[in-house]
Amino acid sequence: MPTNRQILLDNRPQGEASTSNFKFVSAETPALQDGQVLVRHHYLSLDPYMRGRMNESKSYAQPQPLGEVMIGGTVGEVVESRHPKFSVGDQVVGMGGWQEYSVVDASQPGALRKVDTTHVPLSHYLGAVGMPGVTAWYGLVKIIDPKAGDTVVVSAAAGAVGSAYGALAKARGCRAVGIAGGKDKCDYVVNELGFDACIDYKEHKDAYSLAKALKQACPNGIDGYFENVGGMVLDAVLLRMNAHGRIAVCGMIAGYDGQPLPLANPALILVNRLKVQGFIVSEHMEVWPEALKELGTLVATGKLRPRESVAQGIEAAPEAFLGLLKGKNFGKQLVKLI
C-alpha cells in the first residue's frame, strides 16, 4: 500500500491562524476491507469555513479534532476498490481531507460521488460545480429568490462562491454587482464573469464611502445581498438595501480570527423589513442535484468561466490556506497533489 502524506491540526490558533497550527506526518495506507475504496487525490480544496473549524468555540459544525487530518473536499481517482459500484480509474469527489490518499467507506450515503469530466474539468467539481457553486445557488435561489430586473450584490465576488453567484444571477435576468479587493479582481468580475459592475472595497476607508459607491453601482437600490465578509462591507450594504430586501448570510470572513463584528446600523433591518437568513449548504442536500445540473451547464456552455489559484504539493497547503484568509487567492483556491 502507498505511503500517504498528511497534514494534521496540531494545536488551535490564538487569534490569527499560522503554519505552526499544522503538523506534517506520513502514514501507510491500510489494507482495504469489503465496501471500501482507495482514492488518490488529484486536488484538495481550501475553503474559508475551515478556519472556523480550527476553533473550539461553538459553531454550526463540530470543531476539527486535534491530531487528525484536516477536513476538506477532494477530487481524485479510485486506485483500488472493494466496492461493487466503484472501479479502478473512476473519477470521484469526496471529503478526503488534507492528505494524498483516503480510504473511503463507499457504502456511506454521499461519501463518494462519481463525476464526468467530459465537459467539466475535474478540479471544477471542488469549485463552480461543487460545494461553493451549490452554496451560491442556494443563497440566491432559495433565500434571495430574485425576480428578473432585481439588483443583487455579492461580496468576495472574485472567489469560488461569488463567481458562480454572478453567473446564476445573470441567468435569471438580474443586475449583478460584485464587491472585491483590488483592480485586477474587479476587472475579472466585470470582463470575464459578466457582472454589471464591481466595487473595489480597498478604495474605501469606511462604510459610508463604500455605500456611496454602491449607490452609483446600484441606482435602484439592492434587492438581494449574498454575505461572505461582514464588518464594514455589511454596514455599507445595509445602507443601500431596499424595503423587503433579502440577505443570505454564508460567511463572515472578517471575523474568523475571533474579533467581534459589531453592526453600525442594525435598526435598518427593521426599517426596511429585511429578511436576514444564515445557512449551511450541507444541510440542504436535497437541492444539490438541481443546482449541480445548472452549474455544470453554465460551465460547459462557457457562461461561467471559473478561475483557479493552484498551489503545488501537499506541503503548500498551510501557506495557501492562510493566503486565502487574507484574500490573496484569485478564484477557487486548490492544492494540486499529483
For residue 259, the model assigns a pLDDT of: 78
Q: Could you read off the pLDDT of 49-90 as tens digits, one per residue? A: 999 899 987 777 789 999 999 999 999 999 999 999 999 999
Q: Which three cell numbers stand for residue 126?
A: 471542488
Mean local confidence (pLDDT), 111-116:
94
Tell how strand 241-249 and strand 222-227 pair up: parallel
Q: Could you read off the pLDDT of 320-331 as tens digits, one per residue? A: 999 999 988 888
User: Other C-beta atoms within 10 Å of 194: how many?
Assistant: 17
**99 φ/ψ angles, rounded to the nearest 5 degrees:** -160, 165
Cα–Cα distances in Å, from 70 out to 132, 156, 179, 293?
Answer: 18, 24, 30, 29
Q: How many helices (H) and strands (E) does the chain have?
A: 9, 15
pLDDT confidence bin for 332, thresholds 50/70/90: very high
Please give the single-letter amino acid code of residue 58.
K
Q: In the beta sheet, which residues pair with residue 74?
A: 44, 94
Smallest Cα–Cα separation from 235: which of 179, 170, 160, 161?
Answer: 179
Q: Is 5 exposed, middle or buried (0-12, 13-18, 19+ CB in 10 A)?
A: middle
For residue 61, the model assigns a pLDDT of: 76
Mean local confidence (pLDDT), 38-43:
98
Mean local confidence (pLDDT), 269-275:
98
- Which structural domains are found in the chain, ordered by start? 3-127+306-336 (3.90.180.10), 131-282 (3.40.50.720)
Three-state secondary structure readout of 125-160: HHCCCCHHHHHHHHHHHHHHCCCCCCEEEEECCCCH
For residue 270, the model assigns a pLDDT of: 98
Residue with cell 445557488: 137
DSSP letters, 302-327, are: TS----EEEEESGGGHHHHHHHHHTT
Over pLDDT 70: what percentage of the chain? Answer: 100
Q: What is the pTM assigned to this prediction?
A: 0.92
Q: Could you read off the pLDDT of 116-158 as tens digits, one per residue? A: 999 899 999 999 999 999 999 999 999 999 999 999 999 999 9
Q: What average pLDDT does the chain have? A: 95
Q: Is the dihedral of CA 253, 255, 257, 258 positive or negative?
A: negative
